[in-house]
């Protein structure tokens, strides 16, 4: 057994000590299942129209882009700083375990919790979509599942990244709240302001230039929406996915960027944490 | 000459070697240019008040903190760049830890065994520290003393070459403190180097081969306990009560007088007994304490010889007490002035 699996194992055990985490995880899974239960009723004539994962996506999207980031951040933001402040980290690092083992083990342990939760919820939802009225195509289901898990992992690693940056739980909480507000609440509404700003400095005409659209659209929630639009909802219009848009605004690039988001925050946090005084 | 130096260096890697280690937190200098070498196989006591820099020093040994300047090596591994390698040979009881929530005592030891790649039975370790019966309870519910024993058990996993124990007896009752001392001695017997800190002098006095005194970030003194005593002018004081009803014979007094005169002691209101006591060569100074009781000073190891000599001279010693300067006295001595 490697050292980071030792950490991951301990992490999972410790996580489920209290009742709150169990309830939290259960609720998240239930929301997905509930979505699967409701979805057929949102389709006009479910007996004639095949209910699919695309319908589930359409119904759940607005909830997912709020719930999954919150879940990921809550799962991650205490991971390192909580044990650093509480003193468990001193005990972990008294063994020949490196700080990389700690960050990797925690990310994997909590990543596993997140993956299991979303997978259980999605599979439950898919079963309710499939029966009695619909059909679930395996490829769409896999894309829905993998993208949603990846989306959750992005916020999990952002949370863990933030938890490695500071030695104070309070500061980590404030940072996490700030990130949630910026990325989940504020960002989707910023397009107009960015356009105004660019027009003011004569960098934009009537619409955002492609490079600005790329930068603006490289935010996790917008990326998730684009991947789902491209590969689950089969959207092929609009500034990003339309036929005249450049390739780098497409769904494939969005997948790559989302993967980068899943890795970079925690790596950045680790680089700071590696040499920090505990 | 050069060869000799080379051989010495390659054969004897000290367990701990620090060079000019300084640690500043903002404007506070927590550790100030500390040079310390702990050889393999010794029990080293690290003594100082709370806030003297002991824990900062230990945290740097563990790689938790990085020295501002200077370097620290554990078995030749730099603790900044090679902390994991250094910790592979260590067993650690850190300061300010908490046990893992949701894990039993047994699972804690298993964690340490997995991290150190050690096979075996976790219960053996819990046995050694005396918390076997709590093995399958959540460690969250342990008392401070039990948690301390549990973490010591984790430190003992894999027979480490170096035990680093930060205030190991804090939170323990006297029986627990004694158990820890016995474990320290047993581990040392096995061949482990032990480095432990304490602000309680008796703890260190009981087990340490050498003592380092940390005061306001500086390593004020490093020596054996006896050496420290001697350096602080520590002489043993012996108080003896003698049966004065048996007068010494005039010959003995005469003989004793001769010696006493040679020693150059002027006897103003001397009694014959005082003269005899003074005649013993090992006695540095003697005086009348009260009726039937005499005081004398001597070197620590000479106490018994003096008592035997008195007996041989026909003096009937009814009772005796010794007063040695405590480490507390030494400590006050060493840390006075700068405080």
One DSSP character per residue, A31-82 reads HHHHHHHHHHHHSS-TTTSPP-HHHHHHHHHHHHHHHHHHHHHHHHTTTTHH
Strand partners, B104: B138
Confidence of residue B111 (pLDDT cuts 50, 70, 90): very high
Cα separation, B60 vs A270, in Å, equals 20
B138 or B285, higher pLDDT:
B138
In this prediction, residue B120 carries a pLDDT of 92
Q: Measuring CA to CA, which residue among B141, B134, B139, B203 is closest to residue B166?
A: B203
Strand partners, B193: B162
In this prediction, residue B6 carries a pLDDT of 52
Which residues touch B80 (CB under 8 Å, ≥6 apart)?
B63, B66, B67, B71, B72
B258 or B16, higher pLDDT:
B16
Q: Is the pLDDT of residue B165 over 70?
A: yes
Whether B115 sits inside 8 A of A90 (CB atoms) is: no
Assess contact for A153 and A161: CB atoms under 8 A: no
Q: Is the pLDDT of residue B339 over 70?
A: no
Confidence of residue B242 (pLDDT cuts 50, 70, 90): confident
Q: Is the pLDDT of residue A90 over 80?
A: yes
Cα separation, A153 vs A113, in Å, equals 10
Q: Is the pLDDT of residue B2 over 60?
A: no
B93 contacts chain A (CB < 8 A): yes
Whether B94 sits inside 8 A of A10 (CB atoms) is: no
B41-70 mean pLDDT:
92
Q: Is the pLDDT of residue A46 over 80?
A: no
State the smallest CA–CA distance between residue A80 and chain B in angstroms: 13
Q: What is the rounded (10 degree) CA torsion for A113, A118, A121, A125? A: -160
Considering only the beta carbons, identify the residue of B64, B98, B114 that sits closest to A278: B64
Considering only the beta carbons, identify the residue of B88, B98, B107 that sits closest to A96: B88
Chain B residues whose CB is inside 8 A of the A87 CB are 96-98
B199-220 mean pLDDT:
87
- Rounded to two decimals, the ipTM of the complex is 0.88
Whether B112 sits inside 8 A of A95 (CB atoms) is: yes
Chain B residues whose CB is inside 8 A of the A3 CB are 114-115
pTM for the model: 0.83
In this prediction, residue B11 carries a pLDDT of 60
Query: pLDDT digits over B142-162, tens only?
Result: 999 999 999 999 999 999 999
In this prediction, residue A244 carries a pLDDT of 85
Considering only the beta carbons, identify the residue of A13, A91, A277 that sits closest to B97: A91
Confidence of residue B337 (pLDDT cuts 50, 70, 90): low
A131 or B116, higher pLDDT:
B116
Assess contact for B163 and B121: CB atoms under 8 A: no
State the smallest CA–CA distance between residue A91 and chain B in angstroms: 6
Cα separation, B18 vs B46, in Å, equals 14
Cα separation, B88 vs B115, in Å, equals 9
B61-81 mean pLDDT:
94
Q: Is the pLDDT of residue A87 over 50?
A: yes
Q: What DSSP string describes B193-261?
A: EEEEEES-HHHHHHH-SEEEEEETTEEEEEEEHHHHHHHTT--EEEEEEE-TTSPPPHHHHHHHHHHHH
Confidence of residue B282 (pLDDT cuts 50, 70, 90): confident
Whether A16 sits inside 8 A of B102 (CB atoms) is: yes
State the smallest CA–CA distance between residue A69 and chain B in angstroms: 26
Considering only the beta carbons, identify the residue of A86, A97, A277 that sits closest to B115: A97
Assess contact for B46 and B69: CB atoms under 8 A: no
State which residue of chain B sits closest to A276, comparing Cα positions: B65
For residue A108 the two structure tokens come to 């994997």
B173-177 mean pLDDT:
88
Whether B63 sits inside 8 A of A6 (CB atoms) is: no
A87 contacts chain B (CB < 8 A): yes
Cα separation, B25 vs B111, in Å, equals 33
A22 contacts chain B (CB < 8 A): no
A13-40 mean pLDDT:
91
Q: Among A42-51, B39-48, B323-332, which is the least confidently predicted range?
A: B323-332
The percentage of residues in chain A with a pLDDT greater than 90, rounded to a whole number, is 68
Q: Is the pLDDT of residue B21 over 50?
A: yes
> Cβ of B96: how many Cβ atoms within 10 Å?
13
A274 contacts chain B (CB < 8 A): no
Q: At what angle do helices B105-115 and B144-156 cross, to 10 degrees?
A: 30
Q: Is B150 exposed, middle or buried (0-12, 13-18, 19+ CB in 10 A)?
A: buried
Q: Is the pLDDT of residue A114 over 70?
A: yes
Question: Each residue of B199-209: b (16+ CB within 10 Å) or e?
Answer: bebebbbbbbe
Q: Is the pLDDT of residue A179 over 60?
A: yes
In this prediction, residue B338 carries a pLDDT of 47
B148 contacts chain A (CB < 8 A): no
A48 contacts chain B (CB < 8 A): no
B168 contacts chain A (CB < 8 A): no
Whether A17 sits inside 8 A of B102 (CB atoms) is: yes
State the smallest CA–CA distance between residue B92 and chain A in angstroms: 6
In this prediction, residue B192 carries a pLDDT of 95
B256-268 mean pLDDT:
52
B5 or B112, higher pLDDT:
B112
B300-320 mean pLDDT:
84
In this prediction, residue B248 carries a pLDDT of 66
A58 or B265, higher pLDDT:
A58
In this prediction, residue B66 carries a pLDDT of 93
A88-106 mean pLDDT:
95
B11 contacts chain A (CB < 8 A): no
CA B196 to chain centre: 9
Using the structure block, give the residue that is written with the tokens 């070697």.
Answer: B17
State the smallest CA–CA distance between residue A104 and chain B in angstroms: 14
Q: What is the mean pLDDT of chain A?
A: 92
Q: What is the rounded (10 degree) CA torsion for B279, B280, B285, B290? A: -80
In this prediction, residue B325 carries a pLDDT of 67
| Separation of first and last alpha carbons in chain A | 27
B277-290 mean pLDDT:
83
Confidence of residue A35 (pLDDT cuts 50, 70, 90): very high
Q: Measuring CA to CA, which residue among A25, A5, A4, A1 is closest to residue A15?
A: A25
Q: Is the pLDDT of residue A163 over 90?
A: yes
Whether B93 sits inside 8 A of A87 (CB atoms) is: no
Q: Is the pLDDT of residue A17 over 60?
A: yes
Confidence of residue B264 (pLDDT cuts 50, 70, 90): very low
Q: Which of residues 44-63 of B touch A (CB under 8 A)?
A: 59, 62-63
Whether A277 sits inside 8 A of B96 (CB atoms) is: no
State the smallest CA–CA distance between residue A85 and chain B in angstroms: 9
In this prediction, residue B1 carries a pLDDT of 46
A126-135 mean pLDDT:
85
Q: Is the pLDDT of residue B317 over 80?
A: yes
Whether A278 sits inside 8 A of B59 (CB atoms) is: yes
State the smallest CA–CA distance between residue A11 and chain B in angstroms: 9
Chain A residues whose CB is inside 8 A of the B59 CB are 277-278
Whether B64 sits inside 8 A of A98 (CB atoms) is: no
Q: Is the pLDDT of residue B266 over 60?
A: no
State the smallest CA–CA distance between residue A74 and chain B in angstroms: 18
A45 contacts chain B (CB < 8 A): no
Chain B residues whose CB is inside 8 A of the A1 CB are 114
Query: Which H/E stretch holds residue B73?
Result: strand B69-74
């Amino acid at each position: 057994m490697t050292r980071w699996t030792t950490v991951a194992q301990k992490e999972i055990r410790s996580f489920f000590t209290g009742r709150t985490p169990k309830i939290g995880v259960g609720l998240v899974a239930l929301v997905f299942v509930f979505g699967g239960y409701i979805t057929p009723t949102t389709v006009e004539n479910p007996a004639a129209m095949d209910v699919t994962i695309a319908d589930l996506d359409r119904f759940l999207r607005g909830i997912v882009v709020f719930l999954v980031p919150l879940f990921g951040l809550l799962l991650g933001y205490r991971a390192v700083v909580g044990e650093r402040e509480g003193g468990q980290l001193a005990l972990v690092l008294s063994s020949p375990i490196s700080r990389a083992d700690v960050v990797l083990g925690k990310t994997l342990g909590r990543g596993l919790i997140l993956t299991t939760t979303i997978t259980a919820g999605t599979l439950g939802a898919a079963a309710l979509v499939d029966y009695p009225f619909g059909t679930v195509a395996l490829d769409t289901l896999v894309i829905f599942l993998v993208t949603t898990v990846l989306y959750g992992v992005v916020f999990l690693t952002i949370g863990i990244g933030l938890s490695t940056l500071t030695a104070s739980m309070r500061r980590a909480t404030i940072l996490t709240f700030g990130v949630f507000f910026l990325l989940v609440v504020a960002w989707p509404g910023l397009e107009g302001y960015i356009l105004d700003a660019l027009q003011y400095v004569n960098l934009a005409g009537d619409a955002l230039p492609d490079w600005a659209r790329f930068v603006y659209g490289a935010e996790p929630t917008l990326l998730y929406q684009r991947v789902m639009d491209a590969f689950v909802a089969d959207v092929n219009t609009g500034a990003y996915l339309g036929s005249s848009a450049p390739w780098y605004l497409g769904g494939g690039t969005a997948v790559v960027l989302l993967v980068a988001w899943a890795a970079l925050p925690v790596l950045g946090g680790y680089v700071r944490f590696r040499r920090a005084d505990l | 000459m050069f060869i000799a130096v080379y051989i010495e260096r390659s054969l004897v890697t000290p367990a701990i070697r620090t060079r000019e280690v300084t640690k500043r937190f903002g404007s506070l200098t927590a550790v100030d240019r500390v040079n310390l070498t702990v050889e393999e196989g010794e029990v080293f006591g690290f003594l100082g008040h709370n806030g003297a820099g002991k824990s900062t020093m230990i945290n740097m040994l563990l790689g938790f903190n990085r020295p501002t300047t200077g370097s620290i090596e554990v078995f030749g591994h730099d603790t900044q760049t090679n902390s994991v390698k250094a910790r592979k040979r260590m067993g650690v009881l850190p300061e300010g830890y908490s046990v893992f929530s949701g894990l039993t005592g047994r699972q804690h030891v298993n964690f340490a065994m997995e991290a150190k790649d050690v096979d075996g039975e976790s219960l053996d370790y819990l046995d050694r520290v005396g918390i076997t019966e709590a093995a399958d309870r959540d460690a969250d519910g342990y008392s401070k003393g039990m948690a301390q024993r549990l973490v010591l058990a984790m430190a003992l996993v894999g027979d480490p070459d170096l035990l680093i124990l930060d205030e190991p007896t804090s939170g323990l009752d006297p029986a627990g403190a004694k158990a820890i001392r016995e474990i320290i001695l047993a581990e040392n017997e096995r061949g482990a180097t032990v480095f432990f800190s304490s602000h309680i002098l008796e703890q260190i006095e009981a087990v340490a081969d050498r003592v380092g005194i940390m005061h306001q970030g500086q390593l004020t003194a490093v020596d054996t306990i006896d050496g420290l005593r001697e350096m602080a002018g520590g002489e043993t004081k012996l108080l003896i009560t003698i049966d004065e009803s048996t007068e010494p014979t005039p010959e003995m007094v005469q003989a004793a007088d001769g010696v006493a005169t040679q020693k150059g002691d002027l006897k103003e209101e001397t009694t014959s007994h005082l003269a005899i006591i003074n005649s013993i060569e090992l006695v540095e100074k003697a005086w009348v304490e009260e009726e039937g009781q005499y005081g004398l000073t001597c070197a620590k190891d000479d106490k018994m010889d003096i008592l035997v000599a008195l007996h041989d001279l026909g003096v009937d010693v009814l009772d005796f007490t010794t007063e040695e300067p405590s480490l507390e006295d030494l400590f006050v001595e060493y840390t006075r002035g700068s405080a």
